């Protein structure tokens, strides 16, 4: 047995509560386990150590996953709002960690991010969307290629100074109204998305030239190489030198520089 899918099988809750060893003990080659929307299950303490992918989205009563899973590559626990602990021995195999809506992890995230992420030195994608109690994110694996933060309404600090994030290609921030600044280290980004309550800011780049667009009820700006500000009172068009990404001057500083020149409030970001 390599793959086992038991989505929505709440009728197995008694068996899982009393004898997980009997259910999973003989599955010594199991690699993919899908237990999504099993809403009555509270604890997973015995799982095959061979697991590579574990999906638990919508397990709304789940509080702990205490099993040792050293080979796990993908862990999805979307909307497991009561989850307090993550699997043991997560390490170098982890590639994808999806914790959208896992607000029960707020204490762990607040007090010991180093312990949570420290051994995940191969992690490529981290999604902490709708972790609404998260205030600071300052310790992350430098292997990250994608970081997604949507609906983190208490997030104030996003700090990349814990390492060299040269692998980061996508940073997606939406509906994080308390966030006041972006990290300096954004030179390697191919895509940066920032969305406030209504208007989105999307920045995409290719190997040749990046494009920047801001859609706003008051201002519309399209840049590369021209900036145009449409306002009910006036229209301004400005041609700027080509906007390019290089290590001597980060993307963030370049965005801020042309915004300052046109007197557009930085609060738009």
105 and 214 in a single domain? The answer is no
- What is the C-alpha to C-alpha distance for residues 57 and 80, in angstroms, rounded to an integer? 6
More confident residue, 261 or 135: 135
User: Within the chain, where are the H helices?
Assistant: 13-18, 20-24, 106-111, 113-117, 251-261
196 Cβ contact partners less than 8 Å away, ≥ 6 residues apart: 175, 177, 268
237 and 106 in a single domain? The answer is no
61 and 167 in a single domain? The answer is yes
Torsion, Cα 86 91 96 99, to 10 degrees, reads: 20
When divided into structural domains, the chain yields a total of 2
Evaluate whether 13 touches 38 at the Cβ level (below 8 Å).
yes
250 and 140 in a single domain? The answer is no
Evaluate whether 75 touches 90 at the Cβ level (below 8 Å).
yes
Q: At which of 186, 205, 224 does a domain end?
A: 205
177 and 259 in a single domain? The answer is no
145 and 216 in a single domain? The answer is no
Q: In the structure, what pLDDT confidence band is assigned to residue 185 with cuts at 50, 70 and 90?
A: low
Taking Cα atoms as reference points, which of 132, 137, 90, 78 lies closest to residue 109? 137
83 and 135 in a single domain? The answer is yes
184 and 264 in a single domain? The answer is no
Range of the domain at 57: 3-205
Q: At which of 187, 205, 223 does a domain end?
A: 205
- What is the C-alpha to C-alpha distance for residues 88 and 243, in angstroms, rounded to an integer? 45
121 and 79 in a single domain? The answer is yes
Q: What residues are paired with 94 via a beta bridge? A: none
The answer on pLDDT for 144 being more than 60 is yes
- What is the C-alpha to C-alpha distance for residues 134 and 229, in angstroms, rounded to an integer? 35
109 and 186 in a single domain? The answer is yes
88 and 118 in a single domain? The answer is yes
Q: Which run of H or E residues covers position 204?
A: strand 200-204
Q: What is the CATH number of the domain that holds 25?
A: 3.80.10
Q: How far is CA 131 from the centre of its chain?
A: 10
Over pLDDT 70: what percentage of the chain?
Answer: 70
85 and 130 in a single domain? The answer is yes
Q: At which of 157, 172, 205 does a domain end?
A: 205
Q: How many CA atoms lie within 13 A of 89 on its CB side?
A: 12
Q: In the structure, what pLDDT confidence band is assigned to residue 188 with cuts at 50, 70 and 90?
A: low
The answer on pLDDT for 34 being more than 90 is yes
Residue 37 backbone class (left: φ over 0; alpha: ψ -120 to 50; beta: rest): left
Determine the pLDDT at residue 204.
42
- What is the C-alpha to C-alpha distance for residues 254 and 246, in angstroms, rounded to an integer? 10
């Amino acid at each position: 047995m390599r793959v086992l899918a038991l989505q929505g099988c709440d009728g197995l809750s008694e068996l899982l509560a009393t004898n997980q060893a009997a259910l999973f003990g003989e599955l010594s080659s199991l690699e993919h386990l899908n237990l999504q929307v099993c809403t009555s299950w509270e604890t997973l303490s015995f799982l095959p150590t061979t697991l590579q992918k574990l999906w638990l989205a919508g397990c709304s009563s789940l509080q702990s996953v205490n099993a040792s899973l050293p080979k796990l590559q993908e862990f999805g626990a979307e909307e497991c709002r009561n989850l307090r602990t993550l699997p043991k021995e997560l390490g170098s195999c982890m590639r994808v960690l999806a914790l959208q809506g896992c607000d029960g992890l707020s204490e762990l995230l607040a007090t010991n991010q180093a312990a949570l992420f420290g051994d995940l030195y191969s992690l490529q994608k981290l999604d902490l969307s709708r972790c609404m109690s998260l205030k600071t994110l300052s310790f992350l694996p430098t292997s990250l290629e994608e970081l997604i933060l949507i609906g983190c309404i208490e997030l104030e600090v996003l700090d990349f100074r814990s390492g060299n994030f040269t692998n980061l290609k996508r940073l997606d921030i939406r509906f994080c109204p308390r966030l006041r600044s972006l990290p300096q280290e954004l030179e390697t980004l191919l895509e940066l998305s920032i969305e406030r309550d209504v208007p989105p800011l999307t920045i995409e780049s290719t190997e040749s030239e990046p494009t920047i667009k801001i859609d706003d009820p008051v201002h519309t700006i399209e840049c590369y190489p021209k900036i145009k500000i449409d306002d009910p009172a006036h229209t301004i068009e400005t041609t700027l030198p080509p906007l390019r990404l290089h290590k001597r001057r980060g993307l963030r500083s370049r965005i801020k520089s042309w915004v300052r020149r046109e007197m557009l409030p930085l609060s738009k970001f």
